[in-house]
Structure 1
Amino acid sequence: MTFVRTVNGDINPGDMGVTYCHDHIYCVPQLWKEKGDDDLLLDDAEASRAELQLFANAGGRTIYDATAIDYGRDVATVRRIANEIGVQIIATAGFNKSLMWPGTMNDGKRTFNEWIGSLSRKELAEHVTREVTTGMDGTDIRGGVVKFGTGYNTISELEVKTVYAALDAHKETGAPIHAHTELGTMPLEQLDLLHQEGVDPRYLTIAHLDRNPDPWVHRKVAETGAFFSFDGITRVKYYPENVRTRCILDLVRAGHEDQIMIGGDIARKTMFASYGKGGLGMGFILEKWRPRFVEEAGEAGFDGEKLLEKFFVANPQRAFAFSQ
């Protein structure tokens, strides 16, 4: 029997409902705190709770919270405010990326670089596995996804170690895998590591590929069977919104509509509607982007509503299911 692991236990994939495939809810990344970057500190539980209410009001049911230990994860707070709203949360075991690792760990004694560097591959894999099977951060809340990340056009030695640890934990637990890419770079190199380790890419979701709207790269990733997390919606500083839609519809034309998911990756106070900074908020995708996509898809000859049912409902049911 397949299942999806949430912060409140395992559920049937069919109970997920409308799902965002990548977001952040409440987190205080230590590196950004040390640098004094307040915009990147999602540290107001009531504001974050209000955002979850916006998501729920728009028809949302489940969120994959992609916040790992090195990005200021606080699973207890997230579970509490999510339960108050009635939103299901899938939490993250594993790691984000080496950019965050100069930050100090919660014990205040070591940086993540020092900690990760001190552990063997086996020890690091055992840590990630425990996060999935036992609990995270001293709680009984278990991770529903194992995550790794890589840098901008590079994969550091320590990042490779965390990739292996996440893949080993996947082999041990059957947990789905999530990969951070920095501005959509290095996805093919990540897939090379999966191939090297004998891991089926169909258990992998790759984030932020819409930051790199390269049709050739997208085609090569799609051919492996991996899932796409299109999660840069509203970031017109990179390119107009229609570019992302074209990327999505190109994949649909090539027969890959069953590999596409949608999320917001909201990780700044200025992106939330409830932090007093004027952001669009967690309801925007379902309330505003969704009808726009339906219209543009229709103009291109597609049934946009049918596609979005796959992107928001059917595809997450497979992407976030345990493999054993």
Structure 2
Amino acid sequence: MTEITTVTGKLSADEMGRTLPHEHVAYGVPGWRIDKSVAPYDRDECRRRAVETLSRLREEFGLDTLFDATMNDAGRDARLLRDVAEESGVSIVCSTGTYPESRGSTTYFDQHRRLLGDVTDELEELFVTELRDGIRDTGVRAGIVKVGSSNGEITDYDDALLRAAARTQRRTGAPILTHTESGTMGVEQAETLLDAGANPDRTVIGHIDQHDPEVQRELVEMGVRIGFDQIGTNGDETDDDTRIERVASLCRDGYADRILLSHDYIVNWLGRSVEVIYDDLDQWRPDRLFEYVVPELETALSPDDVTTMTETNPKRLFTA
């Protein structure tokens, strides 16, 4: 029996149930801590909001498990995740990882540690430590690795980050989730990870709903899993109806076992208010998948295909 590591301890993979595999309980754009004198971190309020949100998803839509994809440099709070899991009844899997060069706080590794050692080795050491031994003194262990690449390129630092993730997976078996930027570098990410020894069955190239359908198909043909994981973030070129059409097309061609569905939703933004962004994101809600997308997919596909994407595939990241 395979067990996964959650923020409250071990869980049988068979008990994961309905899963959201790419969300954020609390998230801050790297650098948000600089602004804490003006926008302090209200941990109690973050907990309250998250417990309320996850409890509703569990009660109304049967949510069992959530992967929190918040990286080390984006406000990850392991104790907060543990408290929210205990109070809401939703199992939470915590990430270890950092953002790529274009989005993260990379100066420490890329400009400081690079002068003193091997950055890939040191990132691998960090990831493995948090997966095996725990995150500092929190008593919480990470269960997945989250990394990414920059917009339109894989920099030297990004390459080190991806290779460290693959090497970590080879040592620990932990699934890898990735962040792609503006619909770029998905194939290149997969090539780098696989070249470094990653298991495609335990690797999810993320935010793939922002990529061209040709790229989506190329990735599943490479054998990796892909995340249609920004549901609700409708723009000029990608909306949920387009996502539904593309997911259904891939499923009809036999690729349901490669697809994961989620929102990349942020329950709590750390730092100053961002309410203005929701003027253009009125459909970006943590229940959008279950309330709209799943019913639409159920009319276009077999119930087994939908269950595969929302329950079986997240489990396979740990068991394949």
Q: TM-score range by the shorter chain?
A: 0.7 to 0.9
Q: Residues 239-260 of structure 1, C-alpha deviation per residue, up to 9 Å, x if partnerless?
A: 3321111110121122111111
CA distance in 1 between counterparts of 2:112 and 2:82 reads: 27
Aligned equivalent of 1:216, options 200, 214, 217: 214
- Matching residue of 1:53: 55
- Matching residue of 1:186: 185
- Matching residue of 1:84: 87
Determine if contact 1:22/1:231 at 8 Å carries over to the other structure.
Answer: yes
CA distance in 1 between counterparts of 2:135 and 2:194 reads: 29
- Tell me which moved more, 232-241 or 257-266: 232-241
Determine if contact 1:54/1:282 at 8 Å carries over to the other structure.
Answer: no
Displacement of 1:276 after TM fit? 8.3
Matched, 1:23 2:27: no
- Matching residue of 1:106: none
The structure 1 segments of at least 4 consecutive aligned residues displaced by more than 3 Å after TM superposition are 27-30, 32-38, 110-119, 275-281
Determine if contact 2:46/2:268 at 8 Å carries over to the other structure.
Answer: no
The 3-state SS of whatever aligns with 1:95 is coil
Determine if contact 1:70/1:112 at 8 Å carries over to the other structure.
Answer: no
Q: Residues 188-246 of structure 1, C-alpha deviation per residue, up to 9 Å, x if partnerless?
A: 1112212322333122011100011x222111100122111111211122433211111
Aligned equivalent of 1:289, options 287, 290, 293: 293
Displacement of 1:306 after TM fit? 2.5
Cα separation, partners in 2 of 1:136 and 1:166, compared to 1, 3 Å? same
What does residue range 120-139 of structure 1 map to in structure 2 within 5 Å?
120=118, 121-139=120-138
The 3-state SS of whatever aligns with 1:99 is coil
Unaligned runs of 5+ in 1: 104-109
CA distance in 1 between counterparts of 2:180 and 2:316 reads: 21
Paired residues, number:
304
Determine if contact 1:71/1:100 at 8 Å carries over to the other structure.
Answer: no
Q: Residues 23-74 of structure 1, C-alpha deviation per residue, up to 9 Å, x if partnerless?
A: 0002344424547997xx9972211221112221221010011011011100
CA distance in 2 between counterparts of 1:18 and 1:94 reads: 24
Displacement of 1:96 after TM fit? 2.6
Displacement of 1:162 after TM fit? 1.2
CA distance in 2 between counterparts of 1:209 and 1:173 reads: 25
Displacement of 1:308 after TM fit? 1.5
- Tell me which moved more, 121-130 or 72-81: 121-130
CA RMSD of aligned residues (A): 2.8
Amino acid at match of 2:27: C
- Matching residue of 1:226: 224
Amino acid at match of 1:215: P
TM-score (norm 2): 0.85
Unaligned runs of 5+ in 2: none
TM-score (norm 1): 0.84
CA distance in 2 between counterparts of 1:181 and 1:116 reads: 25
